[in-house]
Amino acid sequence: MRDAYTDQLDELGDALAGMCEDVATAMEKATRALLDADLRLAEQVIDEDIRIDEIRHSAEEKAFALLVLQAPVATDLRIVVSAIHGAGDIERMGDLALHVAQAARRRHPQPVLPEEIAPYFAEMGRVGVALARKAGAVIRSRDLAAAAELESDDDAMDDLHKHMFTVLMDRNWDHGVEAAVDVTLLARFYERYADHAVAVARRIVYVVTGQMPGPLAV
């Protein structure tokens, strides 16, 4: 019975780590759709988002079943509770990738971003995808050092997000209000995506140590 229970806990972690890879792929595709005005890729992200939602629901059902049937305590309880919260964080990352793809579809065939802004979003996409994949690796390894690295890795996204405001406030901005709104919203999507990845890593710290490292950003 104990072996079966341990296997169920491991399967729950594997499901969340797999979700991280799914949302990383979604953001990678969404960013390419955004930069290349690629309607096909945008539609892929939109269509595939339902799968991420389904995995979240399945993970939550398994977690609640473990709570009811196994009455876990100590580390096991922290694993189950963190899985419930983590599934929500990761699913939200998928939603944010979806929002990026929807922006690309909404403006198609026109590009969403002014040409000089695009490289910043290419970098935000790269950072976000790397954070999601590292979060998945942390779920599997429970490596506290790697979890802490996500905090510093997220600083790069925060810097890019802040820089967008500098760009938008520049007196030489001549792309109009509509483009400014798009840039503001999209930058926020990427910044929040990264915040959720950090939240996942913090929950792993909680699983291992029993203490949450500071207030959650999300």
Give the residue-averaged pLDDT of 110-124: 96
Q: Which domain holds residue 54?
A: 2-209
Q: What is the CA radius of gyration of the chain?
A: 19
SS (H, E, C) 150-172: HHHHHHHHHHHHHHHHHHHHCCC
- Note the pLDDT tens digit of each residue in 174-211: 999 999 999 999 999 999 999 999 999 999 999 999 98
- If one counts the domains in the chain, the total is 1
| 55 within some domain | yes
* For residue 5, pLDDT beyond 90: no
Which CATH number characterizes residue 64's domain? 1.20.58.220
| 218 within some domain | no
* Residue 41: per-residue pLDDT: 97
**pLDDT mean across residues, the chain:** 94
